[in-house]
Structure 1
Amino acid sequence: MSVIGAENELLADSAADIKRRWDRFDRNDRVRKSSGKAGVVDAIAIGEELLKVRLQLGHGRWLRWFGNCLAERSIQTANEYMFLSKHQHAGDLRECSSIREALAVIRGGRPVVELNAAAGTVTITFAIAQRCVAGSNKLSIEQALLFSLPEQLQLRHSLEHAHNLYLALPTPPTQS
C-alpha cells in the first residue's frame, strides 16, 4: 500500500471514529441534560480526535476533509470542541454544568446565561476573573451579556439593567 493510500485509510478510520463518538455524544445529550452532567469530557475527547486529524492534514486540507467526512456537523461546534481540548487544563472543567460554561471558564469572562422556560427564570452566572472585573464597565458587561445569550433567547435589557448587574458583582480586591 502506498503512503498516500495508508494516509487516506487512516483518515477514513479517523472520520468513522469521530462520527461514532459524536453520534453517541448526541444520543446521550438528552440524558446528560436531565441528569445535570455536562458532557464536557466527551466534547474534549471529540476535540482531541479532531485535533489529531487537523495536525496531520494542515489547514487547507483540514477544512476540505471536514466538509467531506463530517458535512452533517457544524464546523463551529468542532472548533469549540478543539478549543476545549486544547485548554482543558485551564480550570476544573469536569465541574462545569454545560459545555457553554466550560468555554466561559476557559475564556475567563463571558457570563453563562441559562433559560428555564418552565420556571420562567433566566440565570446569569458570572465566571469573570478578578482582573476582568476590575477593568469592566457598564458597556462591557452589557456587551458580554449580549454576546453570550443564545440566539433563540430574545431577552431585552437596558444599559441600566447591565449596570445593576455590574453593581451586584463582588468587589475585587485592590491590586498592589
Structure 2
Amino acid sequence: MWCQRLLGEVSNNVQVVATGTEEMTTSIKGIFQSASQAATITDTAVKIVEQTNHKISALGESSVDIGQVVKVITEIAGQNNLLALNATIEAARAGEAGKGFAVVANEVKQLANQTAKATSDTSEKIKIIQADAKNAVEAMDEITNVINEVNDISGTIASAVEEQSATTNEMSRNVA
C-alpha cells in the first residue's frame, strides 16, 4: 500500500514535470521565433541604413559638383566686373560720346557684383549642406552599430533558447 501510494506520487510528479517541460518547450519555441524575427528586422534596418548612407553620400557629392559650378560662375562674375571697370575707363576717355557706354558698363558692374554675392551665398549654403550630409552619414553609421549590437544580442538569445530547447527536449525524453 505504501509503495503504491509512493508510485502514484512519483507518477503524478513525473506527469507534472512532463507537462511543465511541454509548456517550457512551447514557450522556448515562441522566444526563438521572436528572436529570429528580431534578427530579420535588424538585418533589414541595416540594409535600409546602408542605402540611406549611399543616398546621403551622393547628395554630398552632388553638392561638391554644384560648388564647382558656383566657382566658375564666381570667376565669370569677377571677369565681368573687370570688363565693366575697363569699359568705364574707356567710356571716360571717350568723353561725352562715351556717356551712354558708361551707363551700360556701370550696369554690367552691378550685375557682376550681384552675381558674386549670390554665388558667395550659394557657396555658404553648399558648405552647410556638405557638413549636414557628413553628419547624417556619421549618425547613420552610429545607428548601424547599434542595430548590429542588437542583432548580436538577438543571436545570443536565439542560441541560448536553442540550447534550452535541446535541454528541455532531453528532459522530456528522460521523464517519458
Which is bigger in relative contact order (C-alpha 8 A, separation at least 6)? 2
Higher helix proportion:
2
Higher strand proportion:
1
Q: Which has the larger radius of gyration?
A: 2
TM-score with structure 1 length normalisation? 0.29
